[in-house]
Amino acid sequence: MTTTHILGYPRVGEKRELKFALEKYWKGESDVNELRHVASEIRQKNWTLQQDNQLSFATAGDFAWYDHVLGTSLLLGHVPKRHQNGTPDLDTLFRIGRGQSQSTCGCAGHAASDMTKWFNTNYHYLVPEFSSADTFELSWTQLFDEISEAQAQGHTVKPVLLGPLSYLYLGKEVEEGFDRLSLLPKLLEAYQAIFAKLEQLNVEWVQIDEPILALELDAKWLDSFKGAYQTLQTNLKLLLTTYFDSITDVLPTITEINVDGLHIDIASSPEQLSTVVDALPAQWVLSAGTINGRNVWRANLVEKLAALQDAKAKLGDRLWVATSCSLLHSPVDLDLETKLSTETKDWFAFAKQKVAEVNWLAKALDGDAQAIAYCEQYSQPIIERSKSTSVNKESVQRRIAGLTAKDAERSAAYPERAHHQKEVLKLPLLPTTTIGSFPQTSDVRKTRAAYKRGDISTAQYTEIIQGFIKDTVERQEKIGLDVLVHGEAERNDMVEYFAENLAGFQTTQFGWVQSYGSRCVKPAIVVADIEREHPITVDWTTYAQSLTDKPMKGMLTGPVTILCWTFPREDISRETITNQLAFALQDEVSDLEAAGINIIQIDEPAIREGLPLKARDHQHYLEWAVNAFKVSAASAKPETQIHTHMCYSEFNEIIDSVAALDADVITIETSRSNMELLNAFEEFNYPNEIGPGVYDIHSPNVPEVEWIEQLIEKAATRIPVERLWVNPDCGLKTRNWSETEESLKHLVEATQRLRTKLA
């Protein structure tokens, strides 16, 4: 019988139960026992689902209170010095993830740890910080407690653990000249202790995740694997787990690692299966990650079955069937979607349904006639859809076919545009602005929900939202910001809002996916060719502009980010989808400009996230990604200032492509990294204007004026002051008005102090 398992399951709950429990706890409205009870209920449901679908293992260790990398840090007793305060507990974890203000702790206050994207996904992890004085020791029992919890319920448990090399690689040095890889011997001692504890718990298999093996590693990192796993002596069976890309380039190294099996992602790289099967050591198992954990399309189980037949014939019971990666990146349960048409619903599978797909595929692979018949029936809707012409639109395809290099160029180069914009906008030195969104209060959310339910009319909805916009504009004017925004009260999410207003998308009711901590997003699904059938943002933006004499920014989400933060079609290329989006946004830019909006921000926070994991694939992606952004902005006249925004990304390796976007102003996240990200822009001699974020909006901390001054002055040593903007590092929708107004007042005060000093 074929062994089955998943690499992890969503931890937020079917209806975001963990999110609401966390936020209630953070507000002091519940105690730790209530929080732990909610988490335990989620885990029990997840394990029961796996058992009900006859999986060979229940995966434990995939639950995290905030982030699994942060959880690994606490497991290893590796806490940043500023957050050390006795034995780590749950509040320690939350301080690292969210920061801590002076008013909360009665101390100096502590910044949250740096956060960045998990490979090429929209999930964020807390970056471990390393220095020469670091030590590691077991001081956080969550992993072991949850294994015992699952075993007590009768489950056969397979723990998941982030591997030592990936843990080190995903961190950063906080001590100049230090090499974090030198910590590996100390770290392996801690992993040896973890293994000893797992043996005591009678665990047989451990899923040890080393996703960095899918990258193009330097020799020193790659060469460390063999010695590291030779050092780890254990009676446990280790499943070395990779995902997100092919590992055939490093297969000779992998096959020399002291483990008992290998997991590969054949949803992202199906071509690697035969190569890995032929090279697999005789005693190893191969876990085939067949069911795609990163998209919502129902699997063509007939096709998947055929792809695995040869491997099954060669490996027999040594072939396992699994999801490609953790289902963390998938919505939880399609059964909750009551508003989808039957046809559309039959195209999709969420995490719960993907667990069932693993089960049915394995049974069919074992020759079960009922399972084979089920796979054929189950696959039919997706097979029929692939042959349908209803998703293709001739007008859209004609426009894409006619795309030329000229379609991506503005009518004037940046120096000429900058001259025109200076004349038209008349902005002061160090212009202040925000990234776009303002607090989404309960009243704002209730209004949108009431409109969606049909409880209020369009006229009533418009009047109420305009009231929120008016209030936001007045607050900004009172604070003294130079370039205003309308606040985005009408938007549930920066991507979902555009998906709801563009033809070619399907949205969901409960398709939530964790981004970090309690922050969840609800990606839309690309189901057909994309086009803009009517203006989307023009009325809201022009209303806001009518309330003030200051410049009002039009706010759009860029084509690459919409692609990356939705579930794409699998029958056409990502490049084609992005170009369709670019033309739709170009039409919106033209209409905003015609309505008198002279500053338009086209956000692209996901452009680095979309970068393929292999360097050899970077150039092609960057060419079409940059081109799509330029197409979206190409219709803007020289006097119209185009902004873009990026956050929580490492820009060094793509700085030339960031410059190639040719945005007049780029705003970036730099506060958590203490302006470190500006190094790339300084060394590259970035030619256009830059707004480095001067405070972290993901933390409840209110930045002091002196702190902001210090960051601006630091930025001015790297970028000419006449090309600097001052802004937060991201949108403000998750903050409350009290935090927001106080923080922005400090931002404006710090800027006013420095205008004379830095002029």
Structure tokens at 393: 């639109």
Question: Is the same domain home to 626 and 752?
Answer: no
The enclosing H or E element of 321 equals strand 319-323
Taking each helix axis from N to C terminus, what angle separates 142-152 and 68-75, rounded to the nearest 10 degrees? 110
Q: How far, CA to CA in Å, does 46 sit from each of 40, 76, 211, 324?
A: 10, 25, 23, 18
Answer yes or no: is 258 a known binding residue.
no
Residues 5/62, Cβ–Cβ less than 8 Å: no
Residue type, 372: I
Answer yes or no: is 488 a known binding residue.
yes
Domain at 734, CATH number? 3.20.20.210
Question: Is the same domain home to 274 and 366?
Answer: yes
- 697: in domain: yes
Q: Is 618 a catalytic residue?
A: no
- 400: in domain: no
Q: Which residue has the tokens 């994309």?
A: 530
Q: How far, CA to CA in Å, does 497 sit from each of 49, 220, 270, 491, 502?
A: 33, 45, 34, 5, 9
Question: Is the same domain home to 653 and 675?
Answer: no
Answer yes or no: is 65 a known binding residue.
no
Which one is catalytic: 5, 263, 698, 746?
A: 698
Looking at 619, 638, 667, the residue that finishes a domain is: 667
pTM greater than 0.75 (yes/no): yes
- 272: in domain: yes
Question: Is the same domain home to 573 and 719?
Answer: no
Answer yes or no: is 386 a known binding residue.
no
Q: Which residue has the tokens 């989307």?
A: 536
Structure tokens at 640: 């119209």
CA distance 157 to 47: 9
Answer yes or no: is 496 a known binding residue.
no
- 406: in domain: no
- 155: in domain: yes
Question: Is the same domain home to 248 and 187?
Answer: yes
- 398: in domain: no
Q: Which residue has the tokens 């349908």?
A: 388
Answer yes or no: is 83 a known binding residue.
no
Q: Quick one: which of 49, 92, 45 has its CA closest to 71?
A: 92
The pLDDT, as a whole number, for residue 676 is 67
Question: Is the same domain home to 641 and 695?
Answer: no
Question: Is the same domain home to 146 and 163?
Answer: yes
Question: Is the same domain home to 659 and 714?
Answer: no
Walking along the chain (759 residues) 10 residues at a time, the average pLDDT comes out as: 97 97 97 98 98 98 97 94 82 90 53 88 94 94 98 98 98 94 98 98 98 97 98 97 98 98 97 98 98 97 97 98 98 96 93 98 98 97 82 90 94 96 96 94 94 95 97 97 97 93 95 95 95 97 98 97 95 96 98 97 90 93 96 97 82 84 90 67 84 82 90 88 92 91 96 89
Answer yes or no: is 16 a known binding residue.
yes
Q: How far, CA to CA in Å, does 101 sit from each of 62, 390, 700?
A: 30, 54, 7
Residue 533 CB coordination number (10 Å): 11
The pLDDT, as a whole number, for residue 105 is 47
CA distance 595 to 578: 26
Question: Is the same domain home to 462 and 524?
Answer: no
Answer yes or no: is 175 a known binding residue.
no
Question: Is the same domain home to 524 and 636?
Answer: yes
Positive or negative, the Cα torsion across 255, 261, 263, 266? Answer: positive
Question: Is the same domain home to 356 and 247?
Answer: yes
The pLDDT, as a whole number, for residue 386 is 75
CA distance 749 to 33: 43
The pLDDT, as a whole number, for residue 674 is 63
- DSSP for 331-377? -S-GGG--SS-HHHHTTB--HHHHHHHHHHHHHHHTT-HHHHHHHHH
pLDDT, the chain, mean: 93
Taking each helix axis from N to C terminus, what angle separates 618-633 and 574-594, rounded to the nearest 10 degrees? 20
Rg over alpha carbons for the chain, rounded to the nearest Å, is 26
CA distance 736 to 700: 9
Number of domains in the chain: 3
369 Cβ neighbours under 8 A, 6+ residues apart: none
Answer yes or no: is 564 a known binding residue.
no
The pLDDT, as a whole number, for residue 349 is 98
C-alpha triplet 364, 370, 375: angle, nearest 5°: 55
CA distance 544 to 486: 6
Answer yes or no: is 399 a known binding residue.
no
Answer yes or no: is 618 a known binding residue.
no
CA distance 684 to 532: 37
CA distance 699 to 255: 44
pLDDT tens sequence across 373-425: 999 999 999 988 877 777 888 899 999 999 999 999 999 999 999 999 999 99
Largest CA distance in the chain: 80
Answer yes or no: is 738 a known binding residue.
no
Question: Is the same domain home to 277 and 354?
Answer: yes
CA distance 611 to 615: 9
Answer yes or no: is 18 a known binding residue.
yes
Residues 612/244, Cβ–Cβ less than 8 Å: no
The pLDDT, as a whole number, for residue 695 is 82
- 717: in domain: yes
- 269: in domain: yes
The pLDDT, as a whole number, for residue 649 is 58
Answer yes or no: is 216 a known binding residue.
no
Answer yes or no: is 122 a known binding residue.
yes
Answer yes or no: is 730 a known binding residue.
yes
Answer yes or no: is 620 a known binding residue.
no
Residues 286/311, Cβ–Cβ less than 8 Å: yes
Structure tokens at 52: 């009900």
Provide the residue range defining the domain that includes 635: 493-667
